[in-house]
């Protein structure tokens, strides 16, 4: 009876050790996949924050360019609400040595609840997440601040009347 058990082949199933090895390999794969997903999510969040910071820096340059008065050289700091978050910016206006040109460097960082406000020292480190550089020239007059009326009622009438097809103001009208 003992010899018949030995000669019988086991059914086509897996042994316990094979199942354990397979589960170990699957666990390694799932762990690597989760690490990759977490890294991807962190990268996406960082790139979103960096994009927002750079947009704020570019907006700040546009605000300075469109301002009614020319800014003076030096460093200025401030905060802005953008995308549901408070951001702090620091702008430095320098004279690059070219007549009529000023260089504007803007750095932006998120204003965290536990972070201290920007230091008053101009040489203090500013942990910028976004940066932008712009130039301001004196060859173009600053914006006057008045907004033109762009409504159709304010537009002048075209030369030659209403300009309807075949009308008196249309070239070639009446030349048949």
Q: Determine what percent of the chain is predicted with pLDDT higher than 90.
A: 48
Instruction: Give the pLDDT confidence score for residue 14 in this predicted structure.
Output: 86
The string of pLDDT tens digits covering residues 84-131 is 999 999 999 998 888 888 999 999 999 984 455 544 444 457 889 999
pLDDT score of 26 more than 50: yes
Answer for the pair 108, 91: CB distance below 8 angstroms, yes or no: no
pLDDT at 140: 62
Distance, CA of 119 to CA of 77 (rounded, Å): 10
CA distance 88 to 6: 79
Q: Cα dist. 71→19, 76, 80, 110, 167 in Å? A: 73, 10, 19, 24, 53
Q: Who has greater pLDDT, 32 or 3? A: 32
What is the pLDDT at residue 27? 96
Locate all alpha helices (DSSP H) within the chain, ordered by sequence. Answer: 2-7, 16-65
Residues contacting residue 68 through CB under 8 Å, at least 6 positions apart: 142, 143, 144, 145
Which position has the token pair 């907004």? 147
Q: What are phi and psi of 32, to 5 degrees?
A: -65, -40
The residue-averaged pLDDT of 40-57 equals 94
What is residue 141's predicted lDDT score, i.e. its pLDDT? 63
Q: Check residue 34 and give its pLDDT.
A: 94
The proportion of the chain whose per-residue pLDDT surpasses 70, expressed as a percent, equals: 70
Ramachandran area for residue 21 (φ above 0: left; ψ -120 to 50: alpha; else beta): alpha
- Domains belonging to the chain, first-starting first, are 44-142 (3.30.1300.30)
Position 119 scores a pLDDT of 47
pLDDT of residue 174: 57
Which tens digit of pLDDT belongs to each residue from 56-77? 999 999 999 888 787 888 999 9
């Amino acid at each position: 009876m003992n010899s018949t058990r030995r000669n019988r082949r086991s059914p086509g199933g897996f042994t316990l050790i094979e199942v354990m090895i397979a589960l170990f390999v699957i666990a390694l794969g799932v762990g690597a996949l989760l690490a990759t997903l977490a890294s991807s999510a962190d990268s996406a969040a960082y790139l979103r924050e960096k994009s927002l910071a750079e947009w704020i820096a570019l907006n700040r340059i546009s605000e300075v360019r469109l301002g009614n008065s020319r800014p003076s050289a030096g460093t200025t700091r401030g905060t802005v609400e953008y995308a549901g978050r408070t951001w702090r910016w620091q702008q430095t206006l320098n004279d690059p040595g070219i007549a009529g040109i000023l260089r504007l460097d803007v750095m932006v960082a998120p204003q965290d609840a536990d972070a201290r406000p920007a230091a008053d020292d101009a040489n203090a480190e500013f942990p910028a997440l976004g940066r932008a550089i712009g130039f301001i020239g004196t060859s173009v007059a600053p914006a006057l601040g008045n907004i033109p009326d762009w409504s159709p009622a304010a537009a002048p009438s075209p030369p030659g009347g209403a300009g309807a097809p075949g009308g008196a103001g249309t070239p070639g009208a009446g030349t048949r």
